[in-house]
Structure 1
Amino acid sequence: MDTDHPAATPADTPAERPPAIAPDAKDWTWVLEARCPECGFAASDVDPQGIGGTVRDLVPRWVAALHREDARERPAPDVWSPLEYGAHVRDVMRVFDERVRLMLEQDDPLFANWDQDATAQEDRYDLQDPGVVADELSASAEATALRFDAVAGAQWERTGRRSNGSLFTVRTLGQYFLHDVVHHLHDVRA
Structure 2
Amino acid sequence: MPEPPAVPPDTRDWTFVITEGCGECGFTPQPPETTGDRLRATIPLWRRALASGSARQRPAPAVWSAVEYGCHVRDTCRLFRDRLALMLAADDPEFANWDQDVTALEDGYVHQDPAVVAEALAAEAQATAAAFDAIVPGQWHRTGRRSNGSVFTVGTFAVYFLHDIEHHVHDVAGR
- TM-score, normalising length: structure 1: 0.89
When Rg is computed on C-alpha atoms for both structures, the one with the higher figure is 1
Within 5 A, what are the aligned runs for 1:1-190?
16-43=2-29, 46-189=30-173
Number of residue-to-residue matches in the alignment: 174
Partner amino acid, structure 2, of 1:160: G
Unmatched 5+ stretches in structure 2: none
Runs (4+) of structure 1 moved beyond 4 Å?
none
Distance in 1 between residues matched to 2:44 and 2:15, nearest whole Å? 26
Q: Secondary structure at the match of 1:71?
A: coil
CA drift at 1:35: 2.4
CA RMSD, 1 decimal: 1.0
Distance in 2 between residues matched to 1:139 and 1:53, nearest whole Å? 14
Unmatched 5+ stretches in structure 1: 1-11
Over the matched positions of the two proteins, sequence identity in percent amounts to 56
- TM-score, normalising length: structure 2: 0.97
Q: Secondary structure at the match of 2:22?
A: coil
